[in-house]
Amino acid sequence: MKKLILNLVAVSIISICQGCSSDKNAAIIEETDSSEIDIIETPNVLEETSNDTIVNQTKLFWLYLHHEEIPNALIETEAPRRDLIVMNAWFHEYVQKFKSVNPDIKTLVYKDLSSTRSYAVENGTDNAYLPTGIGFEYANSNYPEWFLVDENNNRLEYTGYTDHWQMDIGNTAYQQLWADQVVDELVANDWDGVLMDNAIYTLDTYHENIFPKNYESNEDFQLAYKSMLTTINTRLKVDNKIGIANITNTRLHPDVWESHMQHLDGALDEWWLVFGNGNYLSDYTEGFIPQINEVVVNESKNKITLVQPHTSTNDNQGFYYAFASYWLVNDGSTYFSEQEVTDAYNEPSPWRDEYTWNFGVATGNFTQLENGLYQREFSRALVLVNASDTGSVQLDLDTPYLNEVGEEVSSIVVNALSGTVLRKISEQ
């Protein structure tokens, strides 16, 4: 899984072996003098929909990528709470365990698109259940040309991830075998689909400034991935299986998200708006709007988006910034999960009372009130996000609401890089 790498001036993706540097938003935010605006609702629309019976709650996903067994008691607790779970292939027996508790949960198997793993070999034989589509020993013995190499013909290994060997995803024979083997496994073990990690789009991802032979540009590389996703999507559809890919950070590369999504049922954005305590994505050219528009694109086509902010339980500002932003754009196909520690895909994300809140019917899409300030109205709630990295805004509400801690409010202050979720009193 990819880490988010940011610097103070430009934003770029580098090898995942390095820790996250500070974003330009990571500094402590100092509030400026607040401005004041009024929220003018549309009472007629809200009145018509306020009595709706639709339950519109947060959808949650769980990335479980460790090797330890999942206790039955944890499945009993978490299966009803989660709408989608991703697990490694060797945990296929959990598919039915989760479905027996929650028949509607989507179960996806983890597979890396871009590598094969030499650690998944025992006594010269590939493991029966792999984290990849192609076994290392099989490829090494039969198709060494499938390994991606640098200009000196050295195989490319993921920096910081020992025994992860990058493969030539543009090779059509590799594409087809990957697709056939993975989909056969989905069918045999009753998975609903596959999460394809590392649908990458820059030549030196995982090995900074070392470039693969035979690819001249990032655009060529992206076309190769598009070709592979096309092959996989065609095979998935034969057996009515779901294909979701990790295409994190495409906000930095215009049109890549939309291009890849033509051949996917959904996508994961592993670093969504919040990159750690106090480090939040603000409203600039490659920032807030490009990232939430990923969800808008997918929702318009009923495609899945998995959004993962890197919040912690003691970072309320970060949580509500991401949570309110989720509700700015979620129309039912978007799934949310907090992740505090990079790549620590073990325990389920913390459970919060906010996940039980019923937002009701959205009265429209999100709108911009002023620079950096966005709102969306629901029949049972009002969400606001201030994505500006400076300044707070005073809002006078035309009717009282309950704030996040259950207090009745008729005005609020939305600080810089923060969000708020207000609930209609009549619906509590």
Residue type, 263: H
Global confidence as pTM: 0.87
Are 178 and 232 in contact by the 8 Å Cβ rule? The answer is yes
Residue with tokens 């999100």: 366
By the 10 Å C-beta count (0-12 exposed, 13-18 middle, 19+ buried), 281 is classed as buried
Whole-angstrom distance, CA of residue 214 vs CA of residue 418: 45
- 164, amino acid identity: H
Q: How confident is the model at residue 2, as a pLDDT? A: 52
Q: Which residues pair with 386 in a beta bridge?
A: 373, 418
- The string over 181-208, giving b where at least 16 C-beta atoms fall within 10 Å of a residue's C-beta and e elsewhere, is bbbebbeebebbbbbbbbbbbbbbbbbe
97, 77 Cβ separation under 8 angstroms: no
Determine the pLDDT at residue 427.
52
Distance of CA 294 to the CA centre of its chain: 10
The Cα 396–Cα 231 span in angstroms is: 53
Tokens of 175: 């594409």
Predicted local distance difference test score (pLDDT) of residue 7: 29
Tell me what pLDDT residue 370 has: 85
CA distance 416 to 16: 29
On whether the CB atoms of residues 79 and 155 are closer than 8 A, the answer is: no
β-bridge partners, 46: none
Cα–Cα distance for residue pair 415/384, rounded to 1 Å: 11
pLDDT for the residue numbered 52: 60
Q: How far apart are CA 243 and CA 265, in angstroms?
A: 5
For residue 51, the model assigns a pLDDT of 55
pLDDT tens, residue order, the chain (428 aa): 754 433 222 222 223 332 333 343 333 333 334 445 544 444 444 444 445 678 899 999 999 998 889 999 999 999 999 999 999 999 999 999 999 999 999 999 999 999 999 999 999 999 999 999 999 999 999 999 999 999 999 999 999 899 999 999 999 999 999 999 999 999 999 999 999 999 988 999 999 999 999 899 999 999 999 999 999 999 999 999 999 999 998 899 888 999 999 999 999 999 999 999 899 999 999 999 999 999 999 999 999 999 999 998 899 999 999 999 999 999 999 999 999 887 778 889 999 999 999 999 999 999 999 889 999 999 999 999 999 998 899 999 989 999 999 999 999 999 999 999 999 987 55
